[in-house]
Amino acid sequence: MMEEDMENGRSYQERPRTFSTVRSKSSIPLAFRLLMRINPRALIILSLLVFSGVLYVGASTSPIVVFVFCICTLSLFFSLYLTKWVLAKDEGPPEMSEISDAIRDGAEGFFRTQYGTISKMACILAFVILGIYLFRTTTPQQEASGLGRATSAYITVASFLLGALCSGIAGFVGMWVSVRANVRVSSAARRSAREALQIAVRAGGFSAIVVVCMAVFGVAILYSTFYVWLGVDSPGSMKVTDLPLLLVGYGFGASFVALFAQLGGGIYTKAADVGADLVGKVEQGIPEDDPRNPAVIADLVGDNVGDCAARGADLFESIAAEIISAMILGGTMAQRCKIEDPSGFILFPLVVHSFDLVVSSVGILSIRGTRDPGLISPIEDPMSIMQKGYSVTIMLAVLAFGVSTRWLLYTEQAPSAWLNFALCGLVGIITAYAFVWISKYYTDYKHEPVRLLALSSSTGHGTNIIAGVSLGMESTALPVLVISVAIISAYWLGQTSGLVDESGNPTGGLFGTAVATMGMLSTAGYVLTMDMFGPIADNAGGIVEMSQQPESVREITDVLDAVGNTTKATTKGFAIGSAGLASFLLFSAYMDEVASFAQLPFKEVDIAVPEIFVGGLLGSMLIFLFSAWACSAVGKTAQEVVNEVRRQFIERPGIMDYKEKPDYGRCVAIVASASLREMIKPGALAIISPMAVGVIFRILGHATGQPLLGAKVVASMLMFATVSGILMALFLNTAGGAWDNAKKYIETGALGGKGSESHKAAVTGDTVGDPFKDTAGPSLHVLIKMLATITLVMAPIFL
């Protein structure tokens, strides 16, 4: 066929281009395929029965839970509306659809394989947890409530598997919408930049609403089920204040899947991106996403599996961990203060995130389309439009938070406590806004830091790297100051709330910090929308370039892509801040859990003790070793891609003249297999390290008469890992985002524009930053929270 076309003088560029399918079988999960076979009427009846059962369980628990279920159900209907609205948009000309289909097939095929591997590892770990809990000691509270070892073991394992399942579904939802919205954004960009923006935002909004809804729904259903099944608060049974501790397995399951999803997806997307850029841009001098580049489809597939699927699982895990830790601290404080009805303090996080669904939905709808075609004007650029939507969401979140605290946190023992906690929430909301603004300042090319970084490219590759590293290091200062002020302010507001224990000591400090964390995540739905916007816009630009649309269309998608890089960086900064606060809360819960099991006081960790100091060193080392292995995995996989792309250019010289077609599927297969292989080592390091350290020092502690040594060393390891991890993640994410947008700034025509020496140096910087911002950095804040949850779940083996 190729030879006939060449003989007739017809080039590959002039022929309709087709893209080979890289999927061998259906990638729709089995559960969804079974549901699709059910008669629609029967499915409606089944859904009503399930919903009635859920409402019954909720009503048997608390009216607050019924409220949460109703909000979540309405939010799911809203997400269906967004889906229908996005899918009703046209897919553009056939060449766009063909490219989109190839991207979808590659993404869904990799997702199926990746999550198959993760599910097998999750099942193995579930058996390990079951064994540990079947042979561990029980706490006096568990013995008093009749909760035996077997029941506790099965509850923890079931929670772990449910958390893993929901995290996987969250990732699937994120990828499912992105691979269908990208071509619709590309098509809309031919008519109007504002329409393209609106489609990308609403597609991201669908994923965000579903992820937040699942996190809230999952925890609420688990809490209600355990409440009814265990007969909580009935004579001789468990107290409601102890119930949240049974949910920790859910957070661990979510963290486990999110870590491997982020690692695998991050390795995939950045290995393909680096390979495509080094050979395509630097060596061959062809544009980004050019159809002649054999790695371009793999690069576009990576945007979906790395930035959409992985980030959906990541944010799901963040919200679940924050809800559970806040419920634990709320229950503990209510028990110490002898509050008559503690349900408000325990269920408060669920209500906050229910309101999050409402205010984020309003924020998403506030971004409307326009009939004016063409590029968005400089006065009303995409970032300012999205910032307006974020401002609307924040204002509504402040009002909703005040209503929530007055409704659930008012108590006769301290009538003004709810106001203090409302201020704690305000501290968290301000912190979130500050993190978004700081990240935007350091990564948006409208501000000085990125422009100075771009200017450094004019003197060579080395000065670009030096400037990028220094920018990343500098960018850690302001976020650390902000989060420090937030922790101290929230703790002080909680301590002065008027809530005291039986001895008259203030007890609201830690819960105040938990409320601030909830405030920070009270706009998580809209923040995740901004995050999902980035890869959808990036994919849209790739489809426009590959289908060879007019330059004016590419200009629109380039603007959206640059804004997407900034929104991704801002949401990563947001995720790091929330990870730090959530880990602080889980650390406190870990100390309480250890004290409960050991029946010994455990209120502080003395790093002047040599063994405990060593634990801190090991925690910091873990962060650097994990980051090194994650970046190394990208480098090794990228080398395979580079060699393959070079081989194709040498063996098929007609590719550059559009006379021969690249083998896209070969690069997709290389990246997919390598990323699954390379994600195992850093992931295993994260899981095994805390358990190994705890067991080794537990043995040493028993030999030296220090029964809590293992638990204290693990606590020190967790503290140092959290501090080091926050700083490292901030550095990696910001430096990578700044390098990327410095390149985008030069591509707008500054400093010589595309193809100039400055541009080549900027591409080198972007290549260095790729594994920083999309593999190691995002994986680190997942690692921080997973360390906190795994130590809490595995606490018995450290004693």
- Over residues 115-129, the pLDDT tens digits come to 888 888 889 989 888
- pLDDT beyond 70 at 113: yes
Average pLDDT over residues 187-210: 88
Give the pLDDT of residue 350. 93
Higher pLDDT, 34 or 298: 298
- pLDDT beyond 90 at 138: no
* Calpha distance 153→156 (Å, rounded): 5
* Calpha distance 28→30 (Å, rounded): 6
pLDDT digits (tens, 9 = 90+) for 489-548: 999 998 998 888 887 888 888 889 889 988 888 888 898 888 888 888 888 888 888 888
- Bridge partners (DSSP) of residue 500 are 506
* Residue 330 near residue 348, CB atoms below 8 Å: yes
Say which DSSP state 506 is in.
B
* Residue 491 near residue 329, CB atoms below 8 Å: no
Give the pLDDT of residue 148. 74
Give the pLDDT of residue 21. 41
* Calpha distance 206→204 (Å, rounded): 5
DSSP 34-82: HHHHS-HHHHHHHHHHHHHHHHHHHHHH-HHHHHHHHHHHHHHHHHHHH
The CA angle 649-651-652, to the nearest 5 degrees, is 65
Tokens matching residue 560: 């959206």
Across 278-314, b (16+ Cβ under 10 Å) vs e yields bbbbeebebebbbbbbbbbbbbbbbbbbbbbbbbbbb
- pLDDT beyond 70 at 14: no
* Residue 677 near residue 669, CB atoms below 8 Å: no
* Residue 343 near residue 240, CB atoms below 8 Å: yes
* Calpha distance 750→467 (Å, rounded): 18
Q: What are the backbone dihedrals phi and psi of residue 358, each rounded to the nearest 5 degrees, phi first? A: -70, -50
What crossing angle do the helices spanning 757-771 and 448-456 adopt, rounded to 10°?
Answer: 120
β strands within 310-458, DSSP E: none
Containing 359, the helix (H) or strand (E) segment is helix 343-365
Neighbour count for residue 446 (Cβ, 10 Å): 16
Share of the chain above pLDDT 70, in %: 92
pLDDT digits (tens, 9 = 90+) for 636-676: 888 888 888 888 888 888 888 878 888 888 888 888 888 88
* Calpha distance 685→569 (Å, rounded): 26
DSSP 229-253: HTTTTSTTS--GGGGGGGGHHHHHH
Contacts of 490 (CB under 8 A, 6+ apart): 424, 427, 428, 512, 513, 515, 516
* Residue 684 near residue 678, CB atoms below 8 Å: no
pTM of model > 0.95: no
Give the pLDDT of residue 26. 42
Which of 595, 67, 587, 505 lies closest to 329, judged by CA?
Answer: 587
Neighbour count for residue 69 (Cβ, 10 Å): 23
Domain ranges of the chain: 38-368+380-797
The CA angle 788-793-798, to the nearest 5 degrees, is 90
* Calpha distance 273→743 (Å, rounded): 14
C-alpha distances (whole Å) from 405 to each of 63, 345, 508 are 16, 9, 14
Q: What is the maximum span of the chain, computed from C-alpha positions, in angstroms?
A: 94
* Calpha distance 555→28 (Å, rounded): 35
What is the average pLDDT value for the chain, to the nearest integer?
83
* Calpha distance 446→275 (Å, rounded): 28
* Calpha distance 172→211 (Å, rounded): 10
Give the pLDDT of residue 737. 87
Give the pLDDT of residue 403. 92
* Residue 546 near residue 287, CB atoms below 8 Å: no
Which of 741, 677, 664 lies closest to 301, judged by CA?
Answer: 664
- pLDDT beyond 90 at 474: yes
Average pLDDT over residues 571-600: 78
Tokens matching residue 717: 């390891």
Confidence of residue 622 (pLDDT cuts 50, 70, 90): very high
Average pLDDT over residues 83-106: 85
pLDDT digits (tens, 9 = 90+) for 213-235: 989 988 999 999 888 888 877 77
- pLDDT beyond 70 at 11: no
* Calpha distance 668→677 (Å, rounded): 14
* Residue 309 near residue 264, CB atoms below 8 Å: no
* Calpha distance 560→536 (Å, rounded): 9
* Residue 690 near residue 41, CB atoms below 8 Å: no
* Residue 197 near residue 382, CB atoms below 8 Å: yes
Contacts of 136 (CB under 8 A, 6+ apart): 149, 597, 796, 797
